Structure 1
Amino acid sequence: MDPPRLGSAHRILSALDTDEQVLRFVEAITSDVASIQSELLQQILADNADVAYFHRHGLFGVPSAEDFHSRLPLISYQDIELDVARIASGDEDGHAKILCARPVREVLKSSGTSGGRQKLFPKLSDYDPEFLVLNRREARFSSCPDRRHSRQGPFNTGKSLHFIYVRNPEVTPGGVKLSSGLSGYFTSPAFRNRKIDPATSYTSPDQVLQCVDYTQANYCHLLCGLVQRHQVVSIGSVFASTFVRSLKSLKCQWKDICQDIAEGAVNSRIVTSVPVRNAVNAILRPDIELADAIRKECCGGNWRGIVRRLWPEARLVQTIITGTMQQYVSIIDMLTDGLPIASSLYASSECSSLGVNLDPVCPASEVLYTLFPCFAYFEFLPLENRLSAPDEDQGREERSFVSCDNLVKLADVKVGDEYELVLTTKAGLYRYRVGDILKVVKFHNDAPQFAFVRRAGVLLSVDMDKTDELELHKAVTQAWNRHQEHSEIRLVDYTSRVDLSSQPGHYVIYWEAFPDPLIPELDVCCFELEESLSVVYRRNRREGSVGPLEIKLVRQGTFDRIMDHVVQNGGASYGQYKTPRCAKDPKVVSILESSVIAKGQARCMQTST
């Protein structure tokens, strides 16, 4: 196959009907990375000629690649925040487009990062068709060479029990739709009007997939999946944390589900949405035998391997297990009795589709993503050249001081090096720092394969929440000051960790106070600290995907012991030592836990928060 010519990526992918075609496509697109990237950059610059952003940087007409590399700076979200806000408000006219020459009628919201602010990114109309086709072709990418020695062969028939949860899109006064990437996709015309293949569809009807009430959607996903249990060949969710939470809810809901299956009708007390209830009832019929079989598996309280027992034909778990989601692999293994986990796609709010894992059921620690050079123009900031994580509270002058001189092209990265991902997209992001830290592990033909290392700046994360060092510092300081404003007690030091020994996981904050090691009303301190964290954290707390925060007071001298341990075992000097704000070293955690003298826990998060 000749190297793919550019155009709409979903048109290229939609033409791939057979495993052999997918194989040839992957071989072609990974064998000519440099020229495909060069052509894509030229196309982006030509398509967006004369946008206001280019004018701001002295570029008029169609910029050349040389102009792009010499004139456009490396940027973070603050640099374009006002531009995207204008786009979201509908403040564009036909004479001076802001970032993108094509009309932008939808803006994607990120999940929310430091400071609790959700970022907005322009979205083009072909993002949803592109993502739709990529999802439909996902199983076929299993045919790539790296996949030949995997534990599971590709499957082309059967249904997927996928735990999908969406939110109602918002519409700005200017008529621009605001949604998360997943909500936008599952409520898009491309998804609603897709060609449904009965052999490879979801177990849940579209009314359930598009239900905005989590409780009702979760119940119906389980009910529909169990009714079609022998047709389910894959089970999953976008994120591993969501998958675990969805399955754990079965422990509280199996009795109602069994009753609904036996009666052949969904409980109207649980599922109050009439369209959702009607859609689910359409696939139900009274089945006492099935209800008894499910009841037998659930009533004993043995949840190890429950997925294999309830869905005996399931061969695969499809969910993201990279980054902080790796922590859920052990509980997924317990629930599924070791079913292979496929972490298949690499996507983001900034660009929708980015790449594919060509060996999707490899172990969690070995997941690698191959960035497809037709999706975006990729550059990479070597880790040693990063002056700071993006989006920290710096002035514009300080942020813009980060040099573009050392940016590396996709075809030129080196095995073993770590980089921050920088994107230029068809929708109008130019040299944008995504904040993902990636490590080059190997190449497939000319295409590098990356391991996801971490999010830049993220300190604590349980679910979709992401708390960085600065945000935690502000929250601790504000909570302490509010509670101890008129006290002589001072905060000597603090650190934190995520505790996943109970589900859902929760934040633990360790405080050392002086001169009195004890302070009153620790529960109130916990509440005040949570109130200072991000809107995404508070939303996850209300919804139950993050547990109540704990504050643990440690005896005086504890942080001195930690310093001794780190210096004596890490090779650093006392003058270089900085207290780790996230305790990951098991010995440090042991020191902290053995020194606890009092603790408090946050109350339930109020809905109005």
Structure 2
Amino acid sequence: MDGKRLEYKGEEALKELERLTEKSDEVQENILKEILKQNGLTEYLNKYLDGSTEVSAFKSLVPVITYADIRPYIQRIANGEDSSLISGQTITEMLCSSGTSAGEPKLMPSVAEDLDRRTFLYNLIMPIINQYVPGLDEGKAMYLYFAKAEMSTPSGLPARPVLTSFYKSKHFKCRARDPFNDFTSPDQAILCTDGEQSMYCQLLSGLVHRHQVLRLGAVFASAFLRAISFLLRNWAYLCNDIRTGELGSRITDPECRSAMLDILKLPNPHLADEIKMICARTSWKGILCQLWPKAKYIEAVVTGSMAQYIPALEFYSAGKLPLVCTMYASSECFFGVNLKPLCDPADVVYTILPNMAYFEFIPLGDSGLMLMDEEEKVPRSKLVDLAHVRVGCYYEVVVTTYAGLYRYRIGDVVQVTGFHNRSPQLRFICRRNVVLSIDNDKTNEEDLHNSVTSAKKLLEPYHALLVEYTSFADTSSVPGHYVLFWEIQHYKTNGAVNRMEAHVLEECCMVVEEALDYVYRRCRTYDKSVGPLEIRLVGPGTFEALMDHFIRNGASINQYKTPRCINCKAALELLNSMVEACFFSPKNPTWNP
């Protein structure tokens, strides 16, 4: 591939970024040629190309596919057949997707060289941030990372999340050589597959080093907020461990115990008193700045479905810590980086790195409304390559990888906002397959998020915060209707919320409906084919319990994203068991033919 040497760091990494993006189209052409040279004789490609490795043949003959099309080949390799079914290189592991978007985890083939590509992208992050926030090599990062228990396919291939794969690699374990990667958490705590013990030890390490921490973060905002919730429940135990210099009996993992005893070393009652004084306060507004006073930002994904968590993060930081999104990645492929990490979360765009894979795009029009169903066949002629996307237009991302995904629909909808040199910059919009539909209405993730964002503003005067939400299309009665599950946190008690709750939440229902699109409002008001929207208020801790449910069924804490539309029967049963009150929209939304 173009740029075989991937161990770029510092200024050298930034220069390589410029070089790649300045000749993005040339790099992409070379990537595709190399993939075809390596993989052209695989069983999958050969049935379309008949031995050809020409780019023109690939573009005219190889179809656009979804996971259902490639899954039989992946399953055959998982069961012991040769990698040459789809890849000219040996498939070394299967990467498990989170399973929270599509309902079940997918297995994505990976080859050894993929780890080098991912590391190349990771190595760009700190040089980019260092341009805006200097001095980060003078302290520590409290990043909360979690490994998932590793499984094996029937043939013995490791099957694990992409981040667990990285944490177990030599690239991650050798990070101590880089002053920008001085983490508070010991490797033993990160690699501990017991989520509760891992969380406890990582928070304990972060508190012990609280005056050295310059950066806070997790992969997704949801995982970071889960840590805050855990801290709220367990700070007294953590303080006791710091006070006594001994680790409580709840930590039974021997490697964690050994590593944490090295960190605790001696009793520290002064530090324990500092932390207790902060955590015992009635309000936790700004708690992050108080516990880690030198922290300069929070790093986590807060785009797409994660944007829901921005108000909570701003509450816990009192709006003093920038929210930094650094990269765009998935189990299938890593895509690009944010060149302006301190920008407002609403303005985050990712510059595509053309050496990661071969990228193509399905046009969705200037408004993004031409969304294509997963089952809908995409004409090969419809695809646009990376060099020819248009600013302002919406696309669905398609990738061809070294590991055996060919013209594979990722399912992500993006908007092109501009170019860095000759490489496009993308704004992540939503997942294609997360929609609500009763009749002719089609509500995607972005529309749902925007409507909920409008409605939750009504809670602010009552000192209430929407912690989390999800939805489903309830067709158990006629007409069917949208249901939103809301978990609300009251962060100041003054009695007003209790008196007005029904009225406020009915108004929230109306605001959500008014913010949904023309077709939904027509179905509600004119066609009467959709019933009034319902908000089901669930008790505290409901969405943590939902997260636990998905983790028990194979999801990783690192990769977990609350599904914005629930299709899983067991998950729906869990949510419904936690409902405390129901509220319906009291009138039809406006609609003008």
**Residue 60 (structure 2) pairs with residue 55 (structure 1):** no
Is 1:27 aligned with 2:18? yes
* 1:169–1:184 contact (8 Å) kept in structure 2: no
Query: What's the % identity of the aligned pairs?
Result: 33
Which residue of 1 is the match for residue 389 of structure 2? 413
* Counterpart residue identity of residue 167, structure 1: K
Pick from 531, 548, 555 the counterpart of residue 575 of structure 2.
548
Match of 1:123 in 2: 110
Q: Which whole-Å deviations, capped at 9, do the CAs of 1:5-53 have from their partners, x for residues lacking one?
A: 7154xx33x133x33x233222211111111111111011101120001
The alpha-carbon distance between structure 1 residues 312 and 349, as it changes in their structure 2 partners (threshold 3 A), is: same
Partner Cα separation in structure 1 for residue 113 and residue 364 of structure 2: 33
1:288 to 258, 264, 269: 269
Quote the Cα distance in structure 2 between the aligned partners of 1:165 and 1:23.
29
Q: Does 1:347 align with 2:347?
A: no
Distance 1:278 1:357, change over 3 A: same
Judge conservation of contact 2:14–2:124 (CA < 8 Å) in 1. Answer: no
Please, which of 1, 6, 15 is the counterpart of residue 2 of structure 2? 6
Contact 1:76 1:390 in 2 (8 A): no
1:202-260 Cα offsets, whole Å, 9 max, x none, are 11111100011111111111100011112211110000011111012211111111110
TM-score, normalising length: structure 1: 0.75
CA-to-aligned-CA distance 1:423-482 (integer Å, 9 cap, x gap): 01111111111111110111111111111011112148899x9989xxx45xx45xx4xx
Query: In structure 2, how many angstroms separate the alpha carbons of the residues matched to 1:534 and 1:408?
Result: 40
The structure 1 residue matched to 2:430, chosen from 454, 459, 462, is: 454
The count of corresponding residues between Structure 1 and Structure 2 is 504
Task: Give the letter for the 1:140 counterpart.
Answer: P
Asked if structure 2 preserves the Cα contact closer than 8 Å seen for 1:203 and 1:225, the reply is yes
**Structure 2 CA distance, aligned partners of 1:60 and 1:46?**
13
Q: Deviations over 1:302-345 (max 9, x none)?
A: 31111111111111211001101111111111112320111001
What secondary structure is seen at the aligned counterpart in 2 of 1:105? Answer: strand
The aligned residue for residue 126 of structure 2 is 139
TM-score normalised according to structure 2 size: 0.77
Counterpart in the other structure of 2:258: 278
Map 1:370-519 → 2, pairs under 5 A: 370-384=351-365, 389=372, 391=374, 394=375, 399=376, 401-459=377-435, 472-473=472-473, 476-477=474-475, 480=476, 490-502=477-489
Hey, what's the Cα distance between the residues in 2 that align with 1:532 and 1:257? 26
SS in 2 for 1:165: coil
Judge conservation of contact 2:141–2:216 (CA < 8 Å) in 1.
yes
Deviations along 1:104-124, one digit per CA (max 9) or x if unpaired, are: 120111111566221111011
The 1-side partners of 2:387 and 2:150 are apart by: 38
User: Following TM superposition, by how much is the alpha carbon of 1:290 offset from its aligned partner in structure 2, in angstroms?
Assistant: 0.7
Q: CA 1:533/1:259 → structure 2, altered by over 3 Å: closer, same or farther?
A: closer
Q: 1:73–1:273: structure 2 CA closer, same or farther, 3 Å change rule?
A: same
Task: Identify unmatched segments of 5+ residues in structure 2.
Answer: 437-444, 450-465, 491-507, 511-523, 538-544, 563-573
1:233 aligns with 2:214: yes
| Post-superposition CA distance 1:351-410 (Å, at most 9, x none) | 1x211000112111000000100111111100149976454xx4xxxx4x3212121111
The alpha-carbon deviation at position 532 of structure 1 amounts to: 13
Tell me by how many angstroms 1:566 deviates.
3.9
What 5-or-longer segments of structure 1 have no aligned partner?
481-489, 524-530, 574-609
For the Cα contact (< 8 Å) 1:74–1:431, is it kept in 2?
Answer: yes
Partner of 1:603: none
Change in Cα spacing, 1:120 to 1:466, as seen in structure 2 (3 Å) is: farther
2:72 counterpart residue number: 82
Preserved CA contact (<8 Å) 1:386 1:402: no
Residues 142 and 185 of structure 2 are in contact (CA less than 8 Å); yes or no, is this contact kept in structure 1?
yes
Give the C-alpha shift of residue 294 in structure 1. 0.8
RMSD: 3.7
1:442 maps to amino acid: G
Residue in structure 2 matching 1:44, options 35, 38, 49: 35
Q: Which moved more, 1:401-410 or 1:210-219?
A: 401-410
- Give the whole-Å Cα distance in 1 for the aligned partners of 2:401 and 2:239: 48
CA 1:117 to 1:248, structure 2 compared with 1: closer, same or farther past 3 Å?
closer
CA contact (8 A) 1:159 1:201 kept: yes
Distance 1:426 1:86 in 2: 18
Task: Provide the C-alpha distance between the structure 1 equivalents of 2:479 and 2:551, rounded to a whole number of angstroms.
Answer: 26
Cα 1:156–1:130 change in 2 (3 A) is farther
Amino acid across the alignment from 1:339: L
How far does residue 188 in structure 1 lie from its aligned partner after superposition? 3.1
Residue 546 of structure 2 contacts residue 575 of structure 2 at CA under 8 Å; is this kept in 1? no
Partner in structure 1 of residue 285 of structure 2:
304
Say if 1:110 and 1:232 are closer, same or farther in 2 by CA, change over 3 A: same
Counterparts of 1:457 and 1:102, CA distance in 2? 31
Q: Is the 8 A contact 1:139 1:154 kept in 2?
A: no
Q: 1:51 to 1:211 in 2, by over 3 A?
A: same
Counterpart Cα distance in 1 of 2:470 and 2:548: 8
Structure 1 equivalent of residue 168 of structure 2? 187
CA separation of 1:325 and 1:31: change in aligned 2, threshold 3 A = same
1:422·1:432 contact (CA, 8 Å) conserved in 2?
yes
Change (3 A) 1:540 1:65: closer
Mapped to 2, the partners of 1:137 and 1:388 lie a distance apart of 33
SS of aligned partner of 1:567: coil
**What secondary structure, in the 3-state scheme, does the structure 1 residue paired with 2:382 have?**
coil
Q: Is the 8 A contact 2:139 2:214 kept in 1?
A: yes
2:410 partner SS: strand
Q: Could you tell me which residue of structure 1 aligns to residue 82 of structure 2? A: 92
Q: Distance in 1 between matches of 2:382 and 2:317?
A: 45
Assess, with a 3 A threshold, how the Cα gap between structure 1 residues 22 and 55 changes in structure 2: closer, same or farther: closer
Work out which of the residue numbers 132, 146, 151 in structure 2 matches 1:170.
151
